[in-house]
Amino acid sequence: MLKNSTRRWLAGLGVAGAFLAASATPAQAADDIRIMAYDLQVAPNHTAYGFIAAYTSEDELKKLTLDLDLSQVDDFATIDVATTDWTCDQNASTLHCEAEAGEYGVPGFNYYLNAKADAKPGTKAELGIKAVGDGQTATRTITVTVAEGVDLQSVPEASFDAEPGATVGLVGTEVHNAGPETARGVVLRLQQDYLSPYAGNFSNCRFIEEVQSAICTIDTELKPGKTYRLSEKLPVKVDQTARTGSSLFNYVDWWTEDDWKVVTDDPDFPLPPGTPGTGEKLELVEVPAARQGAPQTDVDPWNSFTAVKLTVLGDNTADLAAVGGTATGKVGDEVKVSAGFENLGPATIETWRLEGPLLEVNIPKGTTAVGVSEECAPMIEDQPWDPWQNAGEPGARRYGCLTWGDVAKGDKGSYEFTLKIDELAGETSGLVETVLAGDKNVANNKASLTVKFGNATTPGNPGGGGGDGGSLPITGENSGLFAGVGGLLLVAGAAGYLVAKRRRTRFVA
């Protein structure tokens, strides 16, 4: 089950759709309120998505008011509130909004900035923001720029195959200019899967470790109605431990240079510089050098994002063995027992990509599960398994258990159950079963969860053979989740970005 801080974080993603930073938080004095927002670019007769949040470094705000000064943008744009969590009134050129804290604190403020058809590209204006929360006040301005509208498009999905250890070029890296204006250069971003990392050395591409992304600035001018292909495919190297049959996802998206500059210039979370390559330059086509004109923005960033699926071939599977547990007690006792697994290798199991549970546990007859690991949830016939809302719920006969991060060869994990003995005539057993597609050694996929008659093994004295008797330790972020969500947010916000140190999550024996 997710910790409260993680639930809050994910809720913020869902409500706000905003940019985040997992590696750092802007410095601020204790108890000072701080406004988070980002600059906007918008094309005439188009809409840009905006987000505002206010927070403190210590206590959570109980109530927040926002006042937006629209006096400078009124001439060329209007604002629509894009959330039901705020109550808003507009008086002249001021938009006044209020919200109270809910389960996950004060919600983010989502809005749309709508540029008028006659808005002139190159126009800039300041949008003033005043936040008042719990007796504290902060102010900030963001810059709104009217930009030429271009429409970079790419295929939404692409797929190909490769074997562990192979270096291959990504497919799906074409870009089409569907807009009426010539795009004066583009920025390509590759968000890599850590099991198929970027392996290029192009001089105009830089790899940023903090976001696990390669950023390529390409000076090509993309003419309206034309499609362009990279001069060389972006190479990625499939990790030797990649599991046969698994799917690795690399995400490619295209930006105008001016949209990307908003990201790199963000004062709250400046993008790290990264390391450029030393090889040849990555190009699209030979183009003229002239690059003058108004700023440009992608009017529909959702259609310039490609999810590239790489299916791992070969014969590199994982052998996931079930580990049972034993407890002793008498009728009326509550005893602890653990069910677990061990990856015997050789491949890594990237558990956060799997659908459904990694381990299934059937509670022994004559006992009732009165305490359940937070990583397990009931499995009820004819009902969908829901590990989010029902995590740790007692009383079921069958449970599915999940993990976070990756399970490498030799890694183990266990899930603790507290069982109340209702009936016992010598011995009773349940079943522990691993669930992994492609596991060729089915002989070790099942183990027993056994309760025997004897002196009670109390919650403070777990029965033998039950593994480590605790929840799975977490030592890093859930890379796949953050990368996938982060990619969508970057496209949606066209200004924020996700900074996530994608460390491998390991489970210690």
pLDDT digits (tens, 9 = 90+) for 343-356: 999 999 988 888 88
For residue 338, the model assigns a pLDDT of 95
State which of 55-64, 295-304, 383-392 shows the largest mean pLDDT.
Answer: 383-392
Segment among 19-23, 155-159, 363-367, 389-393 with least mean pLDDT: 19-23
Give per-residue pLDDT as tens, 428-441: 999 999 999 899 99
Same domain, 273 and 379: no
CATH of the domain at 372: 2.60.40.10
Is the link from the previous residue into 276 a cis peptide, with omega within 30 of 0? Answer: no
For residue 386, the model assigns a pLDDT of 87
Tokens of 86: 């705020």
Task: Give the residue carrying structure tokens 């059937």.
Answer: 362
CB 250 within 8 A of CB 170: yes
pLDDT interval class at 364 (50, 70, 90): very high
Say how far apart CA 501 and CA 499 lie, in whole Å: 7
Half-sphere exposure of 352 (CA within 13 A, CB side): 20
Give per-residue pLDDT as tens, 192-208: 999 999 999 999 999 99
For residue 301, the model assigns a pLDDT of 77
CB-CB neighbours of 56 under 10 Å: 18
- Decide if 507 is inside a domain: no
- Decide if 506 is inside a domain: no
- Decide if 504 is inside a domain: no
Tokens of 53: 């949040």
CB 111 within 8 A of CB 77: no
- Decide if 361 is inside a domain: yes
Same domain, 191 and 311: yes
- 87-115 mean pLDDT: 92
- 65-72 mean pLDDT: 96
Q: Which of 84, 119, 146 is the last residue of a domain?
A: 146
Same domain, 30 and 124: yes
Half-sphere exposure of 351 (CA within 13 A, CB side): 29
Of residues 21 and 357, more confidence is placed in 357
For residue 293, the model assigns a pLDDT of 60
Q: Does residue 307 register a pLDDT over 50?
A: yes
For residue 356, the model assigns a pLDDT of 87
For residue 459, the model assigns a pLDDT of 45
Q: Does residue 19 register a pLDDT over 80?
A: no
Give per-residue pLDDT as tens, 113-157: 999 999 999 999 999 999 999 888 999 999 999 999 999 999 999
- Decide if 468 is inside a domain: no
pLDDT interval class at 285 (50, 70, 90): low
Instruction: For residue 198, count CB atoms less than 10 angstroms from its CB and return exposed for 0-12, middle for 13-18, buried for 19 or more.
Output: buried
- Decide if 364 is inside a domain: yes
Backbone region of residue 105 per phi and psi (left: phi > 0; alpha: psi in -120 to 50; beta: other values): left
Say how far apart CA 352 and CA 404 lie, in whole Å: 6
- Decide if 383 is inside a domain: yes
Q: Does residue 472 register a pLDDT over 70?
A: no
- Decide if 6 is inside a domain: no
CB 446 within 8 A of CB 320: no
Same domain, 132 and 223: no
- 84-101 mean pLDDT: 93
Q: For a pLDDT cut of 70, what percent of the chain falls above it?
A: 82
Say how far apart CA 362 and CA 375 lie, in whole Å: 15
Average pLDDT, the chain: 82
- 37-59 mean pLDDT: 90
Tokens of 38: 């980002």
Say how far apart CA 53 and CA 41 lie, in whole Å: 19
Segment among 178-187, 221-230, 394-403, 497-506 with least mean pLDDT: 497-506
Say how far apart CA 452 and CA 454 lie, in whole Å: 6
Same domain, 397 and 363: yes
Same domain, 64 and 132: yes
- 87-100 mean pLDDT: 93
Total structural domains within the chain: 3
Range of the domain at 338: 318-453
Of residues 304 and 218, more confidence is placed in 218
List Cα–Cα distances, 90 to 80, 93, 142, in angstroms: 11, 7, 19
DSSP state, 274?
Answer: -
Of residues 60 and 183, more confidence is placed in 183
Same domain, 156 and 289: yes
- 73-85 mean pLDDT: 93
For residue 401, the model assigns a pLDDT of 95
For residue 7, the model assigns a pLDDT of 31
Same domain, 368 and 435: yes
Same domain, 176 and 100: no
For residue 296, the model assigns a pLDDT of 73
Phi, psi angle pair for 493, to nearest 5°: -80, -30
Same domain, 290 and 162: yes
Q: Which of 146, 165, 193 is the last residue of a domain?
A: 146
pLDDT interval class at 8 (50, 70, 90): very low
pLDDT interval class at 303 (50, 70, 90): confident
Tokens of 183: 């795009």
Same domain, 360 and 406: yes
Segment among 66-75, 356-365, 466-475 with least mean pLDDT: 466-475
Same domain, 60 and 159: no
Segment among 50-54, 262-266, 289-293, 408-412 with least mean pLDDT: 289-293
For residue 456, the model assigns a pLDDT of 75
Residues 6+ apart with CB under 8 A from 110: 15, 16, 17, 49, 50, 51, 81, 82, 83
For residue 457, the model assigns a pLDDT of 59
Phi, psi angle pair for 123, to nearest 5°: -70, 135
Model's pTM, two decimal places? 0.74
pLDDT interval class at 161 (50, 70, 90): very high
Say how far apart CA 468 and CA 450 lie, in whole Å: 16
- 370-384 mean pLDDT: 93
Segment among 42-46, 324-328, 352-356 with least mean pLDDT: 352-356
- 212-227 mean pLDDT: 93
